[in-house]
Each structure stands twice: as C-alpha cells, then as structure tokens.
Structure 1
Amino acid sequence: METQTKPTVQQPVAGPFLHFIILFLFSVFDANPLFSQQTKGKVSGKVSSADGQPLPFASIALLDQEGRTLKGTLSDTMGVFQFTAVATGKYQVKITTMGFNAHQSETFTLSEQNQGIQLGILTLYEDAKLLNSVTIKAQKRLIEQGIDRTVLNIENSILAEGNTALELLEKAPGIKVSEDGQISLKGRPGVLVMINGKSTYLSPKELSTLLKGTNSASVSKIEIMSNPSAKYDAAGNGGIINIQMKKNMATGFNGTVSLNGGASRNARYGSGINLNYRTEHLNIYGSYDYAYRGETEYLDFIRRFYDSGVATGKPNRSSFQHTETDEPLYTNNFRAGIDYELNSHNSLGLLVNGNIGKYTHDSKTSNRLIDQSGALLSRMTTTNYDLQNWKNLTYNLNYLHKFKKEGRELSADADFASNSFTSKLNLNTTSLASDAAQSGTTTSRKGYVPAVTDIYLAKVDYTDPISESLKLETGLKSSLIRSDNNLRYDILKNNTWEYDVNGSNHFKYNEQIHAGYLNFNKNFKGFSIQAGLRGEYTRTEGHQITTDSLLKRNYFQLFPSMFINKPFGENHQLQAAYSRRIERPDYGDLNPFRVFRDPLLYYQGNPFLKPELINAFQLSHTFKSKYTTALSYNQTADVITWISGQIDDINTTYEMPQNLSRLINYGISFTASTAFFDWWSGTHFANLFRNEYSGNTQNGDFNNNITSYSFNSQNSFKAGKAYSIELSGYYYSGSVYGISSYKANWAVSTGIQKTIWNDKASIKLMVNDIFQSNRYREHTFFQNIDMDTDKRPDSRRAMLSFTWRFGNQNINKKERKTGSEDIQNRVKGGS
C-alpha cells in the first residue's frame, strides 16, 4: 500500500511580465487627477436598462458646458456611479455602453449651496441599429463584448439550429475544440465548462459526451471568461465557459415549441418544448428536448516503428490504419423548477436538471503492417462496438434573502448531482492471412464499465454594497465527490469467456474541496478596482482496489485576483487583470489501468499526477465599447498533457497523462463589433499567440513551441421584410499540444431565416461547414514516436427548423439566479 501526504506542489514563477504590469499600473493610476484645483462637489446616479436591470461597467463621462469631457468613470456591478471632487459649475453626464443608445442628461448645477447632485436612475434603451434582427424586435446582437467576458446570444441564432452544445463552442471566438473534445481558449488548454453557473465535475471525455448530448435548442447564451474573479471556482486554467440554458422570464403563461430535421452523412432531427407560468410571487417552468444525431467519421492513422529506439532514417515497419465509425446519438434533456417569493425579502427555489442519453461507437478498422521494402507483414480487421448509456441528474434547493438595503443579499444553495455511465464493449480482431500458406485467427474481448459519480455541495454567498463606491462579496463552499469505476474485461478462449485479470480493475476516488472567498469592488476618482482572494483546501483519496494501493493527498492553495479599470474620456477604457488558478487531474486521468481502442492502441491513467497551477495576466483596451485589444501572458507549472508512447517490438501505441515542467502562453487578440450599414452587423475576433511546452517525459526531455493565429467572424444581414441571413467562419492555423503538432483547420457556415405569424414563429435553414473543411490532422515526432493522424468528422450538414412562440412574451420581471455558481468537471467516461 502506498500513501502520500501533503506533496510539494511547485509554485509557478510569474516572470518578468509581472514587473512590467506593476510598473505600467503605477505609471497610469498614479497620475495626477484631471481636476487640479481643490474641489468637493459630488455627482452620483444609477444606470439601468428599460426593463429595470442595472447596467454594470457602462462608461460615464462628466461634460462641461461646451461638451468637453472632464472626467470619466464606470458604473459598478449594481449600475451605480459617482464623481467626487467636482468644482462648482454647470455639467452634464453622458453614458455609453455596447448595445444601447447613448444617454446625455439635462444640464445640472453644482454650487456652494448644493454640493451633492443625485441624478437618480438613468435609463438606457437598446440600439435598434446594433440589434441582430433575427426573430424578435428586442433581440440582442449575436455576440456581445463585456468588460470581463464575451457573451454569445445563442437563443435566436440561425446557425445554432440542429447543433449540439459542443458544436456551438466550435464557432465561439477564441475557442478551439480538439478531435477528442478537449477545449482551449486563446490557445490555453484546461478550460472549466459550467452549465447555468454550475461546474459539471465531469472528465473531458464525459463532458464532451454530455455536450454532444445537449441540444442547441436548450441553450440561451454562452459566456466566455478568460480571467474569472475570486467568486468563481479556482479550477480551469484556460478560463471559464458558462453555458446558460433557456428560462422564460415573461409573466403569465407562455412557451416555445421547436422542430428541426436535416442530414449530414446521416440523418439528424429533434424537437423541444419550453413552458413557463409566472405570477407576481410564483414562477413554474419546465422544458424538454429530444434529439437524434446520426454521424459517420473517418480516421487514418499511420505509425512508424524503429528497432533502434530512435525515429531516424527509414522505419523498419510501418502501420497503415483506416477506421470508419458510425456514431448514432440519442439524447433527452429536461429541466423543471419552481420559484416562490415568500415575501418581498425572501424567496425559495427548487430546480431539477436532467440529461439522459445513449451513444453507440460502431467502428470498423483495417490495419496493414509492412516492412522497409513494402512487403506485407500482417493484415488485421477490427470491429469495435461500444454501447454507452448515461444519466446526469442535478437537484438544487436555493434560498435568497434580500435585506432592506438595496443590493444587500444573502443566498444559499444545496445541490446533489448523480452521474451514472455504463459502457458495454465488444472488440473483435481478425488477423488475415498474408499469403496462401497461412490461415486467419480471431481474438475477442468484451468489456463492461459501470461508473458512478455523486456530488454533494453546499454554498452560501453574501453581497453588500457598503457604499456608493464600495461593494463586498464573500462566500463559503464545500463539495464532496465520490466516484466508483469498476472496469471488467473478459477474453474469449476456446469458446469460453474468461476473466482478464491483467486488464480489469476497480478504482474508487473521493475528493473534498472546501473554499472561501472575499471580493471587493471599489470606485476611485477616475478608475475602479476589483480585488479578490480565494482559498481552497483539497483532500483526495484514490483507492486502487484491484492492486490494493492507496494514494492520499491534501493541500491548501490561495488564489488572488485583481482587475483595474480606467476610462479615458468617453471613448477609451483600459483594464488590467491578474488571476491565479488551478487544474486538478480528473478521476479517469488518475486511474492507471488500460482502456483499449483496438488491440494495438490503448489509453492509461497516471495516479501520480500533480495539479497544475497558472498565473494569468491580461491588459486590454476598449475603444467606443466596440473594439477591444488585449495582451495576455500565462505561465502554467506542472502542466498536465496526454503523451503518446510506443512499444516497438509489439507494434503497440499508448497514451497517458504526464506532468510537464511548464507551458508559457502569450499573445494579442482583437475583437471588433461592426455595423457598417443598417442591414449588416457583425462581431470579429482575431488572435495571435505563442505556446511553449517544455519538460521531460518517460522518453526524455523536449521543447515544443509554435506561433499560431486564429480568426472568427459572425455576420448578420437583414434581407428584406421578415428575412435575415447569418454568415460565419473561422480559421485556426497550425498549433502544438504537448509533443504533438496540429495542422490548420477552418469552416464556413451560413443560414437564412423568415419570421411568420406576426413574429410569433420562424423558419430557419442552416448549412454548417459548407466546404467540409473541418478536419483534424496531427503529427507527432519525438524519440521513437513517428505518427500521423487525419480525422474527418461529420461536420457538413443542412438543417431545417421551425419555432413557434405562444402566450405572453413580454418580459417585465428581472431574473433571479440561484445562488450556487459552480457544480459538476472530472468524472471518467464518455467517448
């Protein structure tokens, strides 16, 4: 039995970039105030949208009588702003924020007798020219760039029809999804994906399966945060992606019905219904979506083997493998909840989320092995039939107390999530005769993988706007995760199934995380600061029952974060951000036993993985709330990377996760929101970055680096009365991951929509990846490893959909979120 307690976790070095940031901030924020004279007047107010919701981070300029900008500031998260030390005189304030018409107040006067001006609530109205007129008049633009996040308003997008949530992410600016479902943001791997503000606690593979099983008809918007605050879990080195599901906020009874159908290499279809009943104190809501996704995928895999143990010269043997896989997927998503306001200060809520589905991996593989001269050494055909079923259920009970003081709130959540996953595998390999003198042989293996993960979570959050310029957020959270994975393999010998002792294993994993955070938002004269500190204590225990080995770890980490915002007049805004984050290995990565893809390829976990830690810096500039330029520098220590290995004498390849010394990622990105004409609006994202991997593996030291770039463009066009068109495209240049390199890939998609029945219904036609150019080509060349992969997913498809909205659709009550911000990322399973 092996026990390890309190391991030493390497601290990443911030590097010289930190000194540059500090010097820059001192030079910017220590500058002289705009008003040099001694003044003591104060101007304050609150910015709100037409439906009463506060507008955070709006740009507010203080103007003199001639309209010249004297001071600038930002509204806080409650929409409140203030100017202090203002001389006597006549002034106006001008407010601008993306997606809304600018607002300029009436002239007011500061005098010796009236040194405090309270402007009250200043209402901004949505800018019709900037709205994407896809379906309804009040619709937001497809992509919005906020001060700390990018928001994709999926709900009415034409291109979202008939997709899965994972396919939606592929179109998002700065996001790249690899062929096995790994998600990276601006070149940084290790992204934490949340659903409705809750972590999924699923492994990358099982999360990929869950997102494949989530119909886009259920998704309202996607929020992308590259530098989250201390309020969020410290997990997710690459940042956080929050997928918000639909929830109707209109009063009375209302709902939506949708149908879609189409084809790629196979058929796809789905349907859904969303119902909502809301009164002054009660809200009852529910939704259900069903989807079938037929898909066929092609894979070519070339491996070269060298008897010398080093990939140099001509290989002694080469393996050429071709795989064709049918992957039908059936999914059921449902959501039901009730919110009840006990009185004006207290409310209760109950919510149930469910995702139940079935996925089949049915592949046929041919494999030819040849020698140096090209002579055939062996031929094999393999069939892999893997039937997978999963059931994800999450129950949430929440309570919200609003104090008499506006903005002061206390929320509490209790969550239970149950995730079950089963895999029934049948792997049959036939070795074909190479010549007439030989006869073929067949080997068969079957596997059964039941995996269960239960999550228990309790959380409390408190928010207090202490003053007009100071806001406090604090909270506590505890989570307990229990995972049980019992993998059994049987081998067919002499027509009898025999238990495979070497291939089977039983692995149990328990994890506790206890966290607390403090977050302050403070508005100063001319700039604002948000500073936070999160502490997390982690205790893990991995029990390998098959070999009776036990590995324990416990550690405490602090995760500071800071954001500084400074407006320069009404058009310019500067922000500096820093955060420290962690990425813990998921349960499947820690499980050391083998999962076979075919007899010559398997995956294996590593129980000695350490968590990776990152220091992330970003400096950004926003112009006219439409154009954002960002510089970023990120350094990750003990970066977890899947590394390929090879056993040359038996022509076998394996993959397992290992800690490399570090990953350095830095670059520059540019986001632009455009409205060239009344009939054309768009959002465009460009990113230039460099990834530098370094470290040592079981096969030796290495460095792998490359400068990469990407571009994403989303465009909306008005095409006459009741018609609209969308056109999107992305391009990713070559990149690196660990010891592997990837070639460029790109795709172009388009769609058209017509609204009917007085905007109560719409018909949409979408074509995804028109040129079928989205493919994944990987090359690995290191030590004795020399291999190429070419994967061609079923990405080109045409979908026709119909959506009907009935009942009252007018929103007059703002949404209250549940207090739990994070639940469910690291359970093993999926495909």
Structure 2
Amino acid sequence: MKRIITTAAVLTIAFFNAQEVKKDSASSKEIQEVTMTKKVFQKKADRMVFDVANSPIAKGTTGFDLLKETPMVSSTDNATLKILGKNASIIYINGRKSNMEPEAVIEMLKNMPSENISKIEVITMPSSEFQVEGNQGIINIILKKKPTDGTNGNIRFEDNQGYFNNPSGSITLNYRKNKLGISGNVNSGKYTQQQYYILSNGNDSYKLTSEGTVTGPRTYLGGYINFDYEINDKQNIGFSYNHRDRWGNNFRSNLYNETTKYSGGNSTITDRTRTENLTKDNSKNDAFNLNYELKTDDKGSKLSLSSSYLHYNKTEDNNNSTIILDENKNEVNVDSRFMQKTPLIINNYGFQADYVQKLKKDYTLSFGGSYNSTKTDSDTYYENLIPPSGKDDDQSNHFIYTEKITGLYITLEKSFGEKLSTKIGTRFENTNANGNVTDKNLEVKRNNNNFLPYVSVNYTPTQNHNLSYSFSSRVARPAFWALNPARTYLTKFNYIQNNPFTKSETYYNNELMYMYKNSYFVTASYNYTSNASEQVPLHGIENETGEKVLAYIRDNYGDKQEIGITFGMQKQFFKGIWSANHSLTLGHNIYKGSVDGDPIVTKNKVTFTPKNLDKSGNYFQFQMSNNIRLSAKKDWFLGINYFYLSPLQIEIGELRPIQSADISVKKIWNNWTFNLQLRDAFGTNKNKIYGEDGSGNYNTVNQNQYNRQLVFTATYNFGNQKLQKVRKAEGANEDIKNRTGN
C-alpha cells in the first residue's frame, strides 16, 4: 500500500536543475602581476567537474547540502538526489560506489562536513565500466587528501516540524594513524509521514471514491564502520560493514468509500464503507565488503578486486477491515476482514574485478567483470478472519527467485591533446534467473544476453566553448519486491498486483551538450526504452459478484520515448555575493503500448478492460536556486529556491501542475553551523493525476503529503579538520541493493 500511486507518479517526474559556475579569469600585463583563479565548473571527457575547494558556497555545510548546490544535481524532497534528466543517481566516493543502502547513503551525506570534499563529478552518461541500470547517472565525491594523523568527527541534530514532529541525530568519527584509517557513524531518528488521499474511478454509469488519511510512523537505527590499510605505496586493502534497522509498527490507513450510480440524470449512493489497514513493516539490512587495490605502475594503472555479501530481511504484516456504514456513516456490519503477511528475504554474493592500463600516446584501456548471485524468498500468507475464514490459497504463495548476473566490459579512451577526447566501449551482461511458486504451477525462467555499447566524444575548440556527445545503453531489471506475485490492498476493490513475469527494460540514451564559458549550457537528449514497465491502472469486474475493481497491474506495456532540451545558467554576481542557478526544460514524451489484464488472476475470476497507452504530451519546467551571502564575514547566508512543473503526461494519466518554494537561512559560528529551512512554503507541492483507459473509464489521484515543513539543523565539527578520510571501497553488489526497494 505504501508504494501505491506515489511511486508511479514520483518516479516519472524528473526535476531538472541548472548549473553554478565561477567565471575563469586570468589577465595581466606583466608576469609579476599574473593571478590565476581556478575554474569552479568544468566539462571533461565523460563528466562535469565541480571544484568545491574553489567555490564560496562550500563553507560550513554538509555534503548533502553541497550536492544540492552542485550543477545538474537537485533534490525536491530532501531525501533523494537527481541528475539532469535521470531517473535516479548513484553515489560514488573516490571513484567507488558507497557500500550502503540508498537511505543510509543520504544520512552519510547529511553528516559529511563539506570542508572534507575536494571535487564533485557528475556523470550523466556512465560508460561501460560502471555498474548502473537503466537511466541512472553517477555522482562521484572526491575527498580531500591530507596526510595528517589524528581524530575528528561530526555531531548533527535535526528537528523537522511538519504535520508531525520528527527528530533525528548522528555522530561520525574518523581516525588515522600512519597507514591505518578507520571511520564510523551511528545515526538514529524517527519520521512519521502523513498523507491525505482522494481516489476515484468510474465512467458515466458509476463512480467509486475513497477519501482519508494514511499515517506512516517509522523509527530507524543505522551506522557503518570502514577500515582502510595501506600495505605499501602500491597496495591497499579495505573492509566495510553497514547495518540498518527500520521499524514501522503502526502504519495505518483509514479511508471512507462510497459508490454512486448514475441513471437518467440522477445519482444514487448505493454503498458506504470504511476500510482500515494496520501494518507492521520492519526491515534489517547487513552488508559486508572486502576490497583490494594494486597499483601496477606510476602512470595510474591499477587492479581492483572486490567481494561483497548482502543480507536483507523485511517483514510486513497487514490487517485489513472493511466495515459497512449506514447513510449517517454509522457502523452496521463487517463486510470483510483479512490478515496478510508479505515477508521478503534477500541473500546476495557479489564479486568484481577491474583493471585499468595506461598506454602510450594517451590511450587508456579498461576491462573487467562482475558476478552476482541472488536468492529471494517470500512466503506470502493470506487468511480470511471472518466466515468463510481460513487460509486463502489463491492469494497465499511461497515465491523463491534466484538470479545470476555475469557482466564483462571493455573500454578504450584516447586523448588528442587538450581539445579532443573520445571513449568507446561495450558491456556484456548475462542474466540467468528462475522463479517458482512452490505450492502452485507457476514458474518463470530467464536466460538473457545483452550487449550494451557506449561512445562519447568531447571537443573543446577554445577556452570558452565545449561540445560533447554521448550514447549509452543499459538494462534495468525489476525490483525484487515487484516480482513477488503478491497483492497489496488499499481498499477491498482497489489494490496493487505485482508480476513475476515482468521483463527487464532496455534503455538507449543520447545526449548532446554545448557549454559556453563554463556558465551557460544547452543539453538536448533523446531516450528510448523498450519493454517499458509501470504500475498501470485497470478497470475490472469480478465475475461472481459483479463488483467493480481498480487494480494497479505491474507489466511491460510497450515502448517509451523521452525528448528534452534544457537551457541552463549558473553564474555569480556582485563578486560572489549572489549565486544564481537557473534552468528551463522543454520536453516531449511518447508512450506506445497497452495492458490487457492481470497476469496472475485468471479471466474467469475478473474481467479487465484493456488500457491503451498510446499517448504523448509536451511539458516545461522552470527551476531556480539562489544563494545570497548576507554578511562580509561569510557567516550568514540566505537561500531561495523555486520550481514549477507544467502538466505532464505519464503512463497512468496526466500529472497536474506542481510548484514549490523553499527558503533557508544559514549561520556559521566557529565550529557550529545552524540552518533553518522552510520547505514548500506555500503548500503547493501536491500530486494530482487524471487518467483514462480509452474505453470511457477514468481514475483520479489527489495526494497531499504535507510537504510544508520547518526544519532546524545544528551541526558541530570537532577534532583535526585536516584529517585524511578513509578510502571507500566499492561493493560488488551495489546494483542489487538498489533493487531491494528499501
């Protein structure tokens, strides 16, 4: 229930952010007077480089806040980071994937002092050596390297006042002595999300509505510890352990449902019910990683070996009751009551080997491989609690899924002086999977081979002009929880149906970019997706009772095309007092395909009306980010951010306009940083969706997540601030972690 329409809507909205740059200048009439100011923002062969050390905004803040100010990176919910035009971003530390689940990565960034960051690299089109899926981009954080021994740390407290009050806190410690580095973090907090839904579906003869609240309290406790040891000048070995517990023991929804029938211009309310869901949703995540690195020469050639283990255990117990009401909304009788358990256990072993060889004449050859073995186990149990009571065999199933992914890649990069560089490569991936419902005749087998080419060209004719083109192809596999053939109910006749037969999507991404004076840019992109999948709403009728249902069926509906052009400017005014980061995106989306039924439920039980997805639509989005220095001492800052998204056509319907304004004030005092933010100041960040199936049926979603929040953050940095950070080691199973759904 927690993944209902929100997931489909939010994943479709790409919030594009503009660039922030400091103008490069170097002028002198005499050699003695020459002064050089480094470029803050540069375009390199396959990435954009943000030189944090030379940016005035990188003082007294956190890594997460700094990333929100980074060109091409944005965050609209303060919980995720997106790259220009990408579905998601993957965080790397010093060229290696962070060995954590997504939520823990964000917590780490919120507790990382920005003064420890040297550069941030934004890779919009990852080349073949990167393990990413679909349309993902990469944010690579390069930490400063100071050889000083000692200890330092960071203590952070945050209080978020929205619909509920949600406090959190963390402590981070770093230690370095000679060749040994150790870092650790412990973080904890609680967050209760309040949502208000108004859902409706029907046609010209009837209308079903559901209206009410969904309250999701959660508490979490997590942390990590990393060890890095320099064996000698050429060899390093590292180990990391990450742990995270999350408890959601009182997740509750309360919805009033009403059925209205229309005849001869008259309307009659025929049914009134109330549906309650009470859910316990707990998860535990343990990840281990061992990494070895060998430098084979002094030119940058190196060998990296990694092995990882991931254990993920989630329990979800839900009690659902639908109660019949009279015309005064008083309780009359219990219509249905059931209990459902949907556990998910994931065990993954991963291995990875990478080798980079620096060759003569500015050639670089990279090749390597990876292997992941995953087993998921979900024993879903469904029991009716009122007559006819007992286990429902149709909706109970024990689903075991095993998946083995073998990947090989090779890339060749060539630099033709300072003006021209190219990179070509390809990646081969074999996916061998088998899914089986042990107590039913349902089996899924896959053995897919994918060749995924990559090419990029970067041309810099003069200091003020840069032109680049990239092509990348990727496979996106469905999340493990989405493969389990379980059904999640919101009301008695409104539910989500997962699908073990969902195929992997294949993405073909093109990007052409022009940049002028490292301050202005234009990006044109074209992305084609085959076997595109989504949770598609289908209208149906239960054949035995004649009751109407609305089911969100996850399936591969067809193909998707996304065309966009973004105009961006990132510039500083009044000697750096005002940093402006603005962008305008114009886009056009095309969807081709249809979904005709539920692949799990047989047609003799429910008859669905096929949904035609042949549609297209234009949209535009404007976003601005402003950072204003209020004092000469550089200890007071004002932030003003705003975005507007026009109506956007997505698979499930039309997303109505969204806008939001955020205001923040930051104060730096010695080793303390205080930040006060007002998010969604005018309460306009709400989701509204209207969709039709082409046969006269419609469905609407009106969702208020109460995004207006007042957030106060206090951060204290202590110890030796020049301490070198521990080397982060890449996990061999990071793409697997992103599919746990945690």
Q: Shared topology, TM-score over 0.5?
A: yes
TM-fit CA distance, 1:683: 2.1
CA distances 1:109-150 after superposition (whole Å, capped 9, x unpaired): xxxxxxxxxxxxxxx99775x4215427999785334xxxx4
| Distance in structure 2 (CA, Å) of the matches to 1:137 and 1:216 | 6
**Secondary structure class of the residue paired with 1:328:** strand
**Secondary structure class of the residue paired with 1:609:** coil
Determine the structure 2 residue equivalent to 1:143. 69
Determine the structure 2 residue equivalent to 1:431. 324
Is the Cα contact below 8 Å between 1:460 and 1:819 reproduced in 2?
Answer: no
| Distance in structure 2 (CA, Å) of the matches to 1:558 and 1:358 | 41
Mapping for residues 279-290 of structure 1, pairs under 5 Å: 279-290=177-188
Is the Cα contact below 8 Å between 2:613 and 2:651 reproduced in 1?
Answer: no
TM-fit CA distance, 1:217: 3.8
**Secondary structure class of the residue paired with 2:360:** coil
TM-fit CA distance, 1:738: 1.7
Q: 2:195 aligns with which of 297, 319, 333?
A: 297
TM-fit CA distance, 1:406: 2.7
Q: Which amino acid aligns with 1:258?
A: R
Q: Which amino acid aligns with 1:144?
A: T
TM-fit CA distance, 1:643: 1.1
Is the Cα contact below 8 Å between 1:535 and 1:558 reproduced in 2?
Answer: yes
Q: 1:748 to 1:628 in 2, by over 3 A?
A: same
Is the Cα contact below 8 Å between 2:23 and 2:519 reproduced in 1?
Answer: no
Is the Cα contact below 8 Å between 2:480 and 2:741 reproduced in 1?
Answer: no
| Distance in structure 2 (CA, Å) of the matches to 1:169 and 1:651 | 37
TM-fit CA distance, 1:210: 7.3
Q: Does 1:667 align with 2:667?
A: no
Is the Cα contact below 8 Å between 1:339 and 1:350 reproduced in 2?
Answer: yes
Q: Does 1:653 align with 2:550?
A: yes
| Distance in structure 2 (CA, Å) of the matches to 1:144 and 1:255 | 24
Determine the structure 1 residue equivalent to 2:482. 589
Determine the structure 1 residue equivalent to 2:152. 254
Determine the structure 2 residue equivalent to 1:716. 627
Determine the structure 1 residue equivalent to 2:701. 789
Q: 1:338 aligns with which of 227, 249, 261?
A: 227
Q: 1:365 to 1:414 in 2, by over 3 A?
A: same
Q: 1:700 to 1:330 in 2, by over 3 A?
A: closer
| Distance in structure 1 (CA, Å) of the matches to 2:336 and 2:109 | 39
TM-fit CA distance, 1:671: 2.7
**Secondary structure class of the residue paired with 1:294:** strand
Determine the structure 2 residue equivalent to 1:441. 334
Is the Cα contact below 8 Å between 1:669 and 1:685 reproduced in 2?
Answer: yes
Determine the structure 2 residue equivalent to 1:801. 713
Q: Does 1:777 align with 2:702?
A: no
Q: 1:640 to 1:436 in 2, by over 3 A?
A: closer
Q: 1:61 to 1:746 in 2, by over 3 A?
A: closer
Q: 1:616 to 1:66 in 2, by over 3 A?
A: farther
- Aligned residues with identical type, % of pairs: 21
Is the Cα contact below 8 Å between 2:113 and 2:717 reproduced in 1?
Answer: no
| Distance in structure 1 (CA, Å) of the matches to 2:416 and 2:225 | 43
| Distance in structure 1 (CA, Å) of the matches to 2:92 and 2:42 | 31
Q: Which amino acid aligns with 2:173?
A: L
Determine the structure 2 residue equivalent to 1:745. 658
CA distances 1:398-454 after superposition (whole Å, capped 9, x unpaired): 111122323111111110011111111111110113489994334211111221011
| Distance in structure 2 (CA, Å) of the matches to 1:669 and 1:633 | 12
Is the Cα contact below 8 Å between 2:61 and 2:673 reproduced in 1?
Answer: no
TM-fit CA distance, 1:487: 0.8
Determine the structure 2 residue equivalent to 1:265. 163
Q: 1:626 aligns with which of 497, 519, 527?
A: 519
Q: 1:563 to 1:652 in 2, by over 3 A?
A: same
- Give structure 1 stretches of 5+ with no counterpart: 1-57, 68-92, 103-123, 153-159, 175-185, 306-314
Q: Does 1:818 align with 2:729?
A: yes
| Distance in structure 1 (CA, Å) of the matches to 2:451 and 2:427 | 6
TM-fit CA distance, 1:286: 0.2
CA distances 1:44-89 after superposition (whole Å, capped 9, x unpaired): xxxxxxxxxxxxxx999999x999xxxxxxxxxxxxxxxxxxxxxx
| Distance in structure 2 (CA, Å) of the matches to 1:59 and 1:554 | 52
Is the Cα contact below 8 Å between 1:173 and 1:685 reproduced in 2?
Answer: no
Q: 1:570 aligns with which of 463, 468, 473?
A: 463
Q: 1:764 to 1:127 in 2, by over 3 A?
A: closer
Q: Which amino acid aligns with 1:304?
A: G
Instruction: Say how many residue pairs are matched.
Output: 679
Is the Cα contact below 8 Å between 1:417 and 1:456 reproduced in 2?
Answer: yes
**Secondary structure class of the residue paired with 1:375:** strand
TM-score (norm 2): 0.84
| Distance in structure 2 (CA, Å) of the matches to 1:173 and 1:340 | 33
Determine the structure 1 residue equivalent to 2:289. 396
Determine the structure 2 residue equivalent to 1:371. 261
| Distance in structure 1 (CA, Å) of the matches to 2:78 and 2:330 | 50
CA distances 1:362-395 after superposition (whole Å, capped 9, x unpaired): 1111011112122220110111111100111111
Q: Does 1:278 align with 2:170?
A: no
Mapping for residues 143-542 of structure 1, pairs under 5 Å: 143-145=69-71, 150=72, 167-169=78-80, 172=82, 174=84, 186=85, 189=87, 191=88, 193=90, 197-198=96-97, 216-217=110-111, 225-233=123-131, 235-236=133-134, 238-242=135-139, 251-305=149-203, 315-359=204-248, 360-372=250-262, 373-434=266-327, 439-467=332-360, 469-494=362-387, 498-525=390-417, 526-542=419-435
**Secondary structure class of the residue paired with 1:589:** helix
Please tell me whether Structure 1 or Structure 2 has the larger radius of gyration of its CA atoms.
1
Is the Cα contact below 8 Å between 2:99 and 2:730 reproduced in 1?
Answer: no
Q: Does 1:99 align with 2:40?
A: yes
Mapping for residues 629-648 of structure 1, pairs under 5 Å: 629-648=522-541
Q: 1:732 aligns with which of 633, 645, 665?
A: 645
Determine the structure 2 residue equivalent to 1:544. 437
TM-fit CA distance, 1:701: 4.2
Q: 1:546 to 1:799 in 2, by over 3 A?
A: same
| Distance in structure 2 (CA, Å) of the matches to 1:724 and 1:435 | 55
Q: 1:664 to 1:652 in 2, by over 3 A?
A: same
Is the Cα contact below 8 Å between 2:98 and 2:728 reproduced in 1?
Answer: no
| Distance in structure 1 (CA, Å) of the matches to 2:278 and 2:105 | 22
Determine the structure 1 residue equivalent to 2:15. none
Q: Which amino acid aligns with 2:515?
A: T
Q: 1:226 to 1:660 in 2, by over 3 A?
A: farther
| Distance in structure 1 (CA, Å) of the matches to 2:658 and 2:61 | 34
Q: 1:577 to 1:829 in 2, by over 3 A?
A: closer
Q: 1:95 to 1:434 in 2, by over 3 A?
A: same
Determine the structure 1 residue equivalent to 2:672. 761
| Distance in structure 1 (CA, Å) of the matches to 2:23 and 2:408 | 32
| Distance in structure 2 (CA, Å) of the matches to 1:95 and 1:620 | 27
- Give structure 2 stretches of 5+ with no counterpart: 1-21, 44-49, 597-609
Q: Does 1:132 align with 2:57?
A: yes
Q: 1:719 to 1:509 in 2, by over 3 A?
A: same
Q: Which amino acid aligns with 2:661?
A: V
| Distance in structure 2 (CA, Å) of the matches to 1:137 and 1:740 | 38
Is the Cα contact below 8 Å between 2:181 and 2:725 reproduced in 1?
Answer: no
Select between 566-575 and 820-829 the one with higher mean Cα deviation.
820-829
TM-fit CA distance, 1:695: 1.3
| Distance in structure 1 (CA, Å) of the matches to 2:490 and 2:330 | 30
| Distance in structure 2 (CA, Å) of the matches to 1:626 and 1:806 | 36
Q: 1:499 to 1:269 in 2, by over 3 A?
A: same
| Distance in structure 2 (CA, Å) of the matches to 1:717 and 1:808 | 29
TM-score (norm 1): 0.75
Q: 1:321 to 1:675 in 2, by over 3 A?
A: same
**Secondary structure class of the residue paired with 2:78:** helix
CA distances 1:751-802 after superposition (whole Å, capped 9, x unpaired): 1111113xx1111111111111110101111125311110000211111121
| Distance in structure 2 (CA, Å) of the matches to 1:136 and 1:502 | 54
CA RMSD of aligned residues (A): 3.6
